[in-house]
């Protein structure tokens, strides 16, 4: 899988997704809880706006000096015995990892959840080399077992599945004979893939935040799989989006505190693991070899553009958890591994407008995402910027450009506008009956799908005002 | 005091009663209301769809329309006020126009904001017995930061009981062109909003943005819900 | 502005050979930022606010202890206990047996970290008379033997560097004497921490790591901030405790240490 997860058109996809009552209920429930928990955690910490400001400042500082901090990070990784590969493209990144797999003659890789590895299509490459790859994060495992069903949420990827569906998947694919009780199924998976952790030659993770001053990669998890992946196999490869770092441990404190509360509403996740290099010589567990793969894959273009604020993102999904559009259409509607408001901004940037041009319009500009982002990314403004770019590049439909053109023509000419309003008010009064026009086409028919048209008052305001002045 | 009135295209064409009552309310509060006739639409349908360049002549026409004097401008719609307040950003590469836009933005107020904060009145003597739900529009609360002012005015309406609803601050799904461009999603959002409102069985739904009200009323009418949809000025002029 | 205080040592050729494609990559970033590449240390701006230092700032060690234990018990499902040096061995024995008794037909073994700070607290007869096998991590015996012990053990006992009151967290540094596996493979984890090592929150723990890094010390290869047993909410957002990591956790605070 790469970032793109579907070949159907956006409106077809959402129509299919919106018929999935379970998914919609599931997403609505999840949103409610995650949104509430985030607020509770923020309130309990106190001074949340100050924390957000610090988060924004730290991320901006790093982005402005990204070349220096990546230099410092890579220096420190190799000083501690690790390797660093700078990958401009997805292909370069997967090729490098492929080289390690071949060199180790690896037959099994265990992975902990990493969006950037999905983005670059890493698993496909691993399997092409005759090597098994096991997604060990429970949500990702469920999707992998289910013939690689795409994730529907950045933090809780199997959100769209209910326990019965999961039980059926496990029954069919991994010989599970038990009930649909989540605890029972979780225990089964624990036992079922335990041996994979012990057998794998290579463990692959993402990186929540690297720390430049020490060459450290930090992982924010709950299940313990990331710890196993980075402690048992002899080789650890961490793949990192190039912007995911902080200068020192002091900034790490702020970012982790914001991330854990924004994502899952708790002060710290079960395991925050800071890994530096391969293990020391006298230790007997931990990897003997460590590789850090730093991925650009379009991020530097974003850095140099008007969209650079999106690179502050810490992948907490707080925006996803508040978005009303997401609530109704679900994550798989976005056709990208990145869904919700972050997905609507990022997917067209990394993947282009051809595949993702609809996403910036799947938004009512309500701005609730803007209010929850822990690093104060102006998401609605970035979505508007996409719309502006698409208007400029004439990617929008011809009919829309014509209608807007006509509207702007009239609106710029007060006398013309005045007449249009007066005539329009009268005509609307005559023609709209019982919430419908005699002929329903285009925008009017779209509106009419779910709503009646307003009952007009029949005369323009300005006519009334003018006439009364004359009295 | 003298105030300019910005009617908004929706009120001007299909909901003149709302604009009328806004004027009457301002007059009751001792304002002399001026209607600069060269005003047009704030341009949201074009601006929010990304057509900034094409919108510039209209934005400039709007600025000129209100430069006939320097009195404050009042409008009964949060989204339109918020849209005009962004003109300085849109015209940033024409500094002279941007400065003129900023002057305009600085004198522009949403109606409840103006009554409560500028005139300084929270009780206008309205009376409307019944149970009501207030819908805070996204523009009002998240773009303009106007949260308390409508609530203060409604709290002083005799006989009116305000009821909370689930997800009260969630978007109603209008979003301008979103309502027709992404009509399926918009439709689901307004259905959810109506369900939450209907659950408390109010007599009235009250809002300060005509666009949201047209959207929600359109769905309530389709579902045959017996809730009367009122703009806040309708309420404030009830006796 | 905070000047970077890190002592920068030049890299060896061997180290440099382990970096690939850096120059083109970073030059590209600089060009996108429309400037020359920065290769000299950058002045880090001071954080604008102080709120992270203010959390539980006035708390005594006893108050931190109360906060830690309350949070661990109520929110993390960890068993939170206080004891003294004199009583510790007894408590440890009981706690280990509690876990072993949960499933008497399966693993009954106990694995101790070889951290002297832990071993010094344990009386020689702490586990006397029990049929349970008690092993100690021994890095000289190699990976296979130690991992096998850890995987067989029902309980792993470790000594924490610090504990964080706000989040109910135990801070572990990997050491030759305390392998990563001791707090990872066994089903139950017992963390031992002196009351004097309690901190308010993550801020103080990261300050210590920053101090080490700025002084040019090699970071422990694995620093873990552990808050309770492992968990997930990936199925219908329902919290399940015990996934791939330990299923149970006990925190023991030594009151007079």
- B229 shares a domain with B131: yes
Q: How many whole angstroms separate alpha carbon C196 and alpha carbon B199?
A: 56
> Taking CB atoms and an 8 Å cutoff, what residues of chain B touch A457?
14-17
Element (H, E) at B89: helix B87-90
- Asked whether residue A368 is domain-assigned, the answer is no
Domain stops at, among B116, B145, B174:
B116
> Taking CB atoms and an 8 Å cutoff, what residues of chain C touch A185?
235
Range of the domain at B193: 122-236
Is C49 in Cβ contact with A50 (below 8 Å)? yes
Q: How many whole angstroms separate alpha carbon B145 and alpha carbon A138?
A: 42
pLDDT in tens, B210-239: 999 999 999 999 999 999 999 999 999 999
- B139 shares a domain with B168: yes
Domain stops at, among A300, A332, A349:
A300
Domain stops at, among A300, A317, A352:
A300
Quote the number of domains for chain C: 1
pLDDT in tens, A273-322: 999 999 999 999 999 999 999 999 999 999 999 999 999 999 999 999 99
Q: How many whole angstroms separate alpha carbon C251 and alpha carbon C228?
A: 9
Q: How many whole angstroms separate alpha carbon B30 and alpha carbon B44?
A: 31
User: What pLDDT sits at residue C1?
Assistant: 47
Quote the number of domains for chain A: 2
Q: Is it the case that chain B and chain C have 3 or more CB pairs lying under 8 Å apart?
A: no
Contact C217, C183 (CB under 8 A): no
3-state secondary structure of A135: strand
- CA C26 to chain A, closest CA, distance in angstroms equals 5
Q: Please give the angle made by the CA atoms of A306, A310 and A315, to the nearest 5 degrees.
A: 170
- B39 shares a domain with B142: no
Q: How many CB atoms lie within 10 A of CB A364?
A: 27
- Neighbours of C, requiring at least 3 CB pairs below 8 Å, are A
Please give the mean pLDDT across all residues of chain A. Answer: 95
Contact A273, A219 (CB under 8 A): yes
Q: How many whole angstroms separate alpha carbon C231 and alpha carbon A113?
A: 15
Contact C76, C32 (CB under 8 A): no
Strand A202-205 and strand A108-111: pairing?
A: parallel
pLDDT in tens, B141-168: 999 999 999 999 999 999 999 999 999 9
Q: How many CB atoms lie within 10 A of CB A445?
A: 14
Is B138 in Cβ contact with A451 (below 8 Å)? no
Domain stops at, among A300, A332, A350:
A300
Q: How many whole angstroms separate alpha carbon A279 and alpha carbon A408?
A: 65
Element (H, E) at C185: none
Residue B51 structure tokens:
């057509």
Phi, psi of B171 (to 5 degrees): -55, 140
List the C222-226 sheet strands across, edge first: A245-246, A209-211, A216-221, A271-276, C222-226, C169-173, C162-164, C198-199
Quote the number of domains for chain B: 2
Contact B10, B42 (CB under 8 A): no
Strand C19-20 and strand B228-231: pairing?
A: unpaired
Please give the mean pLDDT across all residues of chain B. Answer: 96
Domain stops at, among B116, B145, B163:
B116
Higher pLDDT, A471 or C147: C147
- Asked whether residue A285 is domain-assigned, the answer is yes
- Asked whether residue A375 is domain-assigned, the answer is no
Structure letter (DSSP) for residue C229: S
- CA A386 to chain B, closest CA, distance in angstroms equals 8
Q: Please give the angle made by the CA atoms of C9, C13 and C18, to the nearest 5 degrees.
A: 95
- A219 shares a domain with A89: yes
> Taking CB atoms and an 8 Å cutoff, what residues of chain A touch C37?
67
- Asked whether residue C28 is domain-assigned, the answer is no
Please give the mean pLDDT across all residues of chain C. Answer: 93
- Neighbours of A, requiring at least 3 CB pairs below 8 Å, are B, C
- Asked whether residue C27 is domain-assigned, the answer is no
Please tell me the number of Cα atoms within 13 Å of A152 on its side-chain side. Answer: 26
Q: How far is CA A419 from CA A416, A469, B54, B59, in A?
A: 5, 19, 21, 19
- Strand ranges in A42-117 using DSSP code E only, listed in sequence order: 83-87, 108-111
- Asked whether residue A397 is domain-assigned, the answer is no
Choose among A329, A411, A446: nearest Cβ to B41.
Answer: A411
Domain stops at, among B62, B86, B116:
B116
Residue C130 has pLDDT above 80, yes or no: yes
- B175 shares a domain with B96: no
CATH of the domain at A181: 3.40.50.10420
Range of the domain at C220: 56-254
- B131 shares a domain with B90: no
pLDDT in tens, A63-120: 999 999 999 999 999 999 999 999 999 999 999 999 999 999 999 999 999 999 999 9
- B127 shares a domain with B101: no
Residues 351-410 of A with CB under 8 A from B: 361-368, 370-371, 384, 386-392, 396, 400-401, 404-405, 407-408
- Asked whether residue A334 is domain-assigned, the answer is no
- B135 shares a domain with B201: yes
- A199 shares a domain with A82: yes
Residue A360 structure tokens:
């910036």
CATH of the domain at B188: 3.40.50
- Asked whether residue C32 is domain-assigned, the answer is no
Alpha helices in C33-162 (DSSP H): 51-54, 61-75, 85-101, 116-119, 143-152
pLDDT in tens, A112-151: 999 999 999 999 999 999 999 999 999 999 999 999 999 9
Range of the domain at A455: 405-470
User: What pLDDT sits at residue A262?
Assistant: 97
- Asked whether residue C66 is domain-assigned, the answer is yes
CB-defined contacts A:C, below 8 A: 313
CATH of the domain at C148: 3.40.50.10420
- B127 shares a domain with B86: no
């Amino acid at each position: 899988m790469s970032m793109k997860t579907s070949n159907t058109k956006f409106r077809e996809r959402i129509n299919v997704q919106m018929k999935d009552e379970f998914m919609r209920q599931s997403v609505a429930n999840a949103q409610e809880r995650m949104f509430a928990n985030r607020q509770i955690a923020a309130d309990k910490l106190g001074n949340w706006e100050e924390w957000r400001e610090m988060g924004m400042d730290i991320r901006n500082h790093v982005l402005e000096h990204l070349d220096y901090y990546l230099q410092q990070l890579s220096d420190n990784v190799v000083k501690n015995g690790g390797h660093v590969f700078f990958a401009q493209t997805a292909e370069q990144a997967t090729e490098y990892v492929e080289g390690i797999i071949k060199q180790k003659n690896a037959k099994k890789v265990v992975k902990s959840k990493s969006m950037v590895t999905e983005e670059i299509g890493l698993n496909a490459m691993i399997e092409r080399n005759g090597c098994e790859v096991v997604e060990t994060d429970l949500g990702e495992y469920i999707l992998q077992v289910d013939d690689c069903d795409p994730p529907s949420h950045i933090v809780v990827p199997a959100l769209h599945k209910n326990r019965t569906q999961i039980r059926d998947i496990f029954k069919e694919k991994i010989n599970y004979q038990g009930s649909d009780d989540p605890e029972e199924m979780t225990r089964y998976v624990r036992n079922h893939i335990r041996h994979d952790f012990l057998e794998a030659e290579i463990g692959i993770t993402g990186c929540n935040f690297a720390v430049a001053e020490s060459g450290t990669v930090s992982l924010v998890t709950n299940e313990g799989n990331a710890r196993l992946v980075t402690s048992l196999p002899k080789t650890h490869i961490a793949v990192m989006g190039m912007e995911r770092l902080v200068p020192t441990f002091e900034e790490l404190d702020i970012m982790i505190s914001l991330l854990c509360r924004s994502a899952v509403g708790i002060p710290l996740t079960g395991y925050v693991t800071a890994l530096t290099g391969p293990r020391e010589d006298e230790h007997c567990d931990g990897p003997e070899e460590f590789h850090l793969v730093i991925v650009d894959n379009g991020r530097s273009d974003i850095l140099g553009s008007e969209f650079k604020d999106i690179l502050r993102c810490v992948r907490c999904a707080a925006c996803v958890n508040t978005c009303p559009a997401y609530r109704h259409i679900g994550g798989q509607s976005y056709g990208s591994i990145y869904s919700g408001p972050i997905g609507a901004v990022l997917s067209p940037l990394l993947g282009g407008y051809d595949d993702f041009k609809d996403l910036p319009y799947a938004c009512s500009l309500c701005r609730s995402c803007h209010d929850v982002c822990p690093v104060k990314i102006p998401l609605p403004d970035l979505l508007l910027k996409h719309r502006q770019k698409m208007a400029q590049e004439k990617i929008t439909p011809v009919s829309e450009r014509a209608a807007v053109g006509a509207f702007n023509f009239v609106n710029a000419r007060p006398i013309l506008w005045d007449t249009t309003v007066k005539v329009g008010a009268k005509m609307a009064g005559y023609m709209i009956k019982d919430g419908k026009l005699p002929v329903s086409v285009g925008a009017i028919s779209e509106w009419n799908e779910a709503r009646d048209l307003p009952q007009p008052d029949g005369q323009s305001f300005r006519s009334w005002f003018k006439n009364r002045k004359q009295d | 005091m003298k105030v300019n009135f910005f009617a908004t295209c929706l009120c001007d064409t299909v909901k003149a009663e709302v604009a009328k009552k806004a004027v009457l309310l301002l007059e009751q509060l001792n304002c002399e209301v001026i209607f600069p006739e060269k005003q047009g639409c704030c341009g949201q349908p074009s601006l929010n769809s990304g057509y900034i360049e094409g919108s510039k002549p209209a934005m400039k026409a709007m600025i000129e329309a209100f430069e006939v004097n320097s009195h404050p401008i009042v409008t009964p719609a949060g989204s339109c006020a918020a849209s005009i307040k962004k003109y300085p950003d849109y015209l940033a590469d024409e500094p002279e126009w941007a400065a003129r836009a900023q002057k305009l933005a600085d004198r522009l107020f949403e109606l409840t904001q103006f009554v409560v904060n500028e005139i300084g009145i929270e009780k206008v003597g309205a009376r409307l017995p019944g149970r009501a739900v207030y819908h805070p529009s996204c523009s009002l609360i998240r773009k303009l930061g106007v949260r308390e002012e409508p609530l203060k005015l409604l709290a002083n309406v005799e006989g009116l009981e305000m009821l909370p609803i689930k997800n009260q601050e969630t978007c109603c799904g209008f979003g301008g062109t979103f309502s027709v461009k992404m009509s399926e999603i918009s439709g689901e959002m307004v259905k959810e909003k109506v369900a939450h409102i209907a659950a408390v069985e109010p007599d009235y739904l009250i809002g300060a943005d005509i666009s949201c009200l047209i959207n929600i009323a359109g769905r309530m009418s389709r579902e045959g819900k017996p809730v009367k949809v009122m703009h806040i000025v309708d309420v404030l002029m009830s006796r | 502005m905070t000047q970077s205080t890190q002592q920068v040592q030049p890299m060896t050729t061997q180290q440099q050979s382990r970096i690939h494609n850096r120059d083109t990559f970073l030059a590209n970033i600089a060009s996108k930022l429309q400037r020359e590449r920065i290769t000299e240390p950058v002045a880090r701006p001071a954080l604008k606010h102080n709120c992270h230092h203010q959390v539980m700032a006035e708390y005594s060690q006893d108050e931190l202890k109360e906060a830690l234990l309350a949070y661990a018990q109520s929110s993390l499902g960890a068993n939170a206990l206080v004891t003294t040096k004199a009583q510790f061995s007894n408590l440890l024995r009981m706690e280990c047996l509690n876990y072993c008794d949960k499933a008497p037909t399966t693993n009954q073994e106990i694995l101790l970290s070889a951290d002297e700070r832990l071993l010094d607290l344990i009386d020689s007869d702490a586990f006397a008379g029990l049929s349970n096998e008690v092993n100690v991590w021994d890095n000289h015996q190699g990976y296979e033997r130690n991992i096998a012990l850890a995987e067989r053990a029902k309980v792993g006992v470790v000594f924490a560097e610090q504990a964080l009151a706000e989040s109910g967290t135990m801070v572990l540094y990997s050491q030759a004497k305390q392998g990563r596996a001791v707090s990872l493979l066994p089903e139950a984890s017992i963390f031992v921490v002196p009351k004097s090592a309690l901190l308010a929150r993550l801020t103080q723990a990261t300050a210590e790591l920053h101090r080490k890094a700025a002084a040019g010390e090699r970071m422990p290869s694995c620093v873990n901030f552990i808050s309770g047993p492992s968990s997930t909410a990936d199925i219908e957002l329902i919290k399940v405790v015990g996934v791939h990591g330990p299923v149970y956790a006990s925190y023991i605070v030594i009151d007079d240490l």
